[in-house]
Structure 1
Amino acid sequence: MPKYSRIKPGHLLGQQWFEEATLRTHADAYVQYLTERGYARETVECYFRSVAHFVHWISKRDINLCDINESTVNQFLDRHLPHCRCAPRCRHTGTDVRAD
């Protein structure tokens, strides 16, 4: 089993977005979950950044975690991503962030 490792310092914006949404412990748990299941470091980092982007987006809209549903996710994927200006390294297409 791979050893748990924190996201490298180059991805501090994602960490900051989790912290701003008061979800820091969830960020650590998510990275650990993926790492313990054998995901490659690059994949873990990509998934982490995508989820951090979503966390940032919902927090800016005051959407509570318990209110997230399929419609919320579709708004993020279909309306926000194509016009996103959150950060240069954010993935901007649905195919990059969908779990299909």
Structure 2
Amino acid sequence: MVRLPLTPAEVERGQRLGALLRRARGERSMLLTALDAGVSPETLRKIESGRVATPAFSTIAAIADVLGLSLDVVWAEINQPERAAAPARLAS
């Protein structure tokens, strides 16, 4: 199967997702976060670095759940242009 190249908008959205997850993870270890979410540490590292710009929904849902992020917050954050140092809102 041939994958089409990502558009610049998809790449940018992947970078925003990675930044959001890194901020939400804070001081928590990448290893523990990945294991708690049921993904490999390598997968989490690639998502956080923006190297995987379009991860599977179930992967993002699992990571967001572990980090206490609502999917509404994730969706809103990744679909807006980069905002200057806007902190991620955690779900209550």
Pairwise TM-score range, normalised by the shorter structure: 0.3 to 0.5
Q: Could you say which structure has the larger radius of gyration?
A: 1
* Larger relative contact order (CA 8 Å, sep ≥ 6): 2
TM-score under structure 1 length normalisation? 0.34
Q: Per residue, is there more helix in 1 or in 2?
A: 1
